[in-house]
Amino acid sequence: MTIDPRQFHQVFFEESFEGLEAMEQALLTATPGQVEAETINAIFRVAHTIKGGAATFGFERIAALAHRLETLLDQMRAGKRLLDEPAIELLLGGVDLIRAMIEGARQGIGIDDEAQVGYISRLEQAIKGEAISPTPLPSAVTARPEPAPKAPAPGWRIRFRPDPSILAHGNDVVLMFRELSGLGDFQVKADLSALPSLPELEVERCYLAWQAELRGAVERRAVEEVFEWVADESELEILPIQGRGLPQPAAPVTDEAVPSGAGEAVPAVAVPKAATLQEAVRRVAAEPGGSIRVSIEKVDALVDLVGELVITQSMLSRLKGAVVGELGERLVAGLNQLERHTRNLQDSVLGMRMLPIAFVFNRFPRMVRDLAAGLGKQVVLEVQGESTEIDKTVMEAIGDPLMHLVRNAIDHGLEQPQERRSAGKPAAGRLSLSARHRSGSIYVEVRDDGRGIDPAKILDAARAKGLLSGDAPVDAEAALNLLFHPGFSTAAEVSDISGRGVGLDVVNRNVRALGGSVGISSDLGRGTLFTLRLPLTLAILDGQLVQVGGSNYILPLEAIVETIRLEPARLSSLAHWLELYLLRDDYIPVIHLARLFQCREAACERPLVVIVGYEGHRVGLVVEQLLHQQQVVIKSLESNFWKVEGISAATILGDGTVGLILDISGLIQIAGRVLGETTGWRPHRTASSEARP
């Protein structure tokens, strides 16, 4: 499936307008000279986001302007410059100009060069540290014909008068127009001149004709295709646009009855003047396209409500056996139906938060091209599975880690063309990004066919840094995992030796904070693969209920490897509540949860050990009982409390009580720390991510 970048333009425009509005608000409410760092940061972020988006979609002038604004703001952020009155005025001018440029891009027109050049030179002066010149921005940012960045042909003028019988033949004009509006900027006016008086009107006949303009780089064939089925029974005229705007139609044309599915008549004149830009911005919301923007809070409130409904439903389903006889059967049937509907509702509501991962992937082609060009490398980027859907929150959080991995791969992983050729590889390096669903998780891979990572060098560096003691052999996988150690990232000399490791701990931490994990594998001389496992959604979780100290806790089901009965003879004590357990031929660390949680030691005759997988290692958790499995709605404990170590979140169980969800990495962290404090021992192999420096 190919992704048309234009489908994201609209999102970029909307987000940019939102951002600009926020930026404007912040600037207007700021007290000159005493602006808080947070305000400057917020403004900076808007400029940065617009720059990134504009660059991705090829609106280079917008990107360039945003970049300059960013430079100026960066000086303010660094405290080298005050956000004073002239600076605020200058930045507001920038907001206006960017808004006009974005509106121009949206409408496929350019804006006055003079205004831009004048503004940019003032901005440049300010960046150089000269006093900000008080000349106000030329207020009239006038519209000037200029083709859109990616639209060499301005578009098509379409005159369409279908045969009155068109509706009877099963053709729907609205659908055709909707298709056209998907091709570019589409505006249409209905010609009502043939409309008969009401008594003569036959409902099944079509009396309307339309005049339309389709702007954008659309091939004539694409337009003709839309009319393919009706061309024989219609008067159809498709002409390239030469002048601007719709011609004055000979027949009287009214503004009503726009059949494009939009609720609002779109003004016929396609060229907005500067004064109407604001209005045009407001019109964005009313554009056809069948989608509405809803704040994420509203969706989350809905997710919460549905969560409540799921709990109520599971409470009710316990009543299934409560009534006997015919009434009971009807109850069961009703409850089953309720369960089905509830599940469908939950899926739909959670689906509202899902977006194709292409939103993240799409920023890479350009970034890769620029980075490669800057480094004199040749890189072929392959993207797969970009239509994989992922929770919006997860997506927002993985953008930076992914960017980091891609940058690392190009910077350190892929070699220069000569080096590649002499190694018998094609001169152009291959970088692939892929995403796929697998068993309730999303796997995102960043793979390069570069030089790979030499485990021996990592080990040398780790020993030099004191992260690893002794000469005990460490397998390659464990060595690679050392890259995620916080100590690795800060050391410049290490990154020189290993060629990697810059900020990988940050990537690891960010992904783990989402409940995911990062894996790395490398083949020396052949390439490196980073695999990010991410939860599909942050809203629900498949859980296993366990009993600890008389209370119920939830373990993420996917972490559980197996559960065994605890045989005391296989335990060797290491500390009060951390022991080693001989599982078949391996000693694995075992955490007594009840003791760790300082519950009164529960009188439990036959405790169980739940073996959980954690970053490729196994840890045993001693629990009293294994209860049922259930899908739980994740609720944050932090809205009314603080973050409790070892607990990732909470949920509401079927009986209405609260269940706490265990955070395996947090538990291991506590265990590792306490063990370290008491014995000086650090958990082997998990040391990379757990032990604190």
Partner 1 sequence: MNESISSGSEVGRDAIPRQYLSFLLEDEAYAVDILRVREIRVWEHVTPIPNTAAFIKGVINLRGTLVPIIDLRERFGLDPRPYGPRTVVLVLVVADAGQERTMGLVVDGVSNVCTLAPDLISPPPDFGGAVHAEFITGLATLEGRMLILLDSDRLLNLAEIYAVGQVQQQANLDASPPPPSGEGD
Q: CA nearest 529: which of 517, 537, 519, 539?
A: 519
Catalytic option among 9, 48, 67, 617:
48
Catalytic option among 70, 103, 287, 624:
70
Q: How far is the CB of 509 from partner 1 (least distance, A)?
A: 13
Q: How far is the CB of 83 from partner 1 (least distance, A)?
A: 24
Compute the C-alpha angle 36/40/45, nearest 5°: 145
Catalytic option among 171, 362, 408, 510:
408
The residues binding partner 1 (CB under 8 A) are 304-305, 307-308, 549, 551-552, 575-577, 596-599, 635-637, 639-647, 650, 652, 656-660, 670, 673-674, 677-678
Neighbouring-strand partners of residue 161: 235
Closer CB to partner 1, 265 or 299, in the complex: 299
Q: How far is the CB of 660 from partner 1 (least distance, A)?
A: 6
Report whether 586 contacts 611 (CB < 8 A).
no
Active site residue 146: no
Active site residue 408: yes
Q: How far is the CB of 337 from partner 1 (least distance, A)?
A: 24
450: amino acid identity, one letter: G
Q: How far is the CB of 669 from partner 1 (least distance, A)?
A: 9
Q: CA nearest 591: which of 512, 650, 675, 679?
A: 675
Closer CB to partner 1, 297 or 677, in the complex: 677
Phi and psi dihedrals of 227, rounded to 5? Answer: -95, 5
Active site residue 640: no
Take residue 245 and report the two structure tokens written for it: 């705007």
- In this structure, the chain runs to a length of 693
Task: Kindly give the pairing relationship between strand 551-556 and strand 234-240.
Answer: unpaired
542: amino acid identity, one letter: D
Name the DSSP class of 412: I
Take residue 156 and report the two structure tokens written for it: 């098509």
Take residue 5 and report the two structure tokens written for it: 């970048």
Closer CB to partner 1, 190 or 591, in the complex: 591
User: DSSP letters along 315-372, please?
Assistant: HHHGGGGTS-HHHHHHHHHHHHHHHHHHHHHHHHHHHHTEEETHHHHTTHHHHHHHHH
Distance CA 648, CA 364 (A): 32
Closer CB to partner 1, 129 or 656, in the complex: 656
Closer CB to partner 1, 226 or 591, in the complex: 591
Instruction: Write the CB contacts of 644 (distance below 8 Å, at least 6 apart in sequence).
Output: 637, 660
Instruction: Write the CB contacts of 251 (distance below 8 Å, at least 6 apart in sequence).
Output: 191, 193
Closer CB to partner 1, 402 or 653, in the complex: 653
Take residue 282 and report the two structure tokens written for it: 């407001």
Distances, alpha carbon 311 to alpha carbons 544, 630, 651, in Å: 16, 11, 10
Q: How far is the CB of 359 from partner 1 (least distance, A)?
A: 30
Report whether 554 contacts 651 (CB < 8 A).
yes
User: DSSP letters along 531-592, please?
Assistant: EEEEES-SSEEEEEEEEETTEEEEEEGGGEEEEEE--GGGEEESSSSEEEEEETTEEEEEEE
Name the DSSP class of 5: T
Which H/E stretch holds residue 494? Answer: helix 492-498
Closer CB to partner 1, 149 or 676, in the complex: 676
Q: How far is the CB of 403 from partner 1 (least distance, A)?
A: 25
Q: How far is the CB of 527 from partner 1 (least distance, A)?
A: 37
Closer CB to partner 1, 151 or 302, in the complex: 302
Catalytic sites, residue numbers = 48, 70, 408
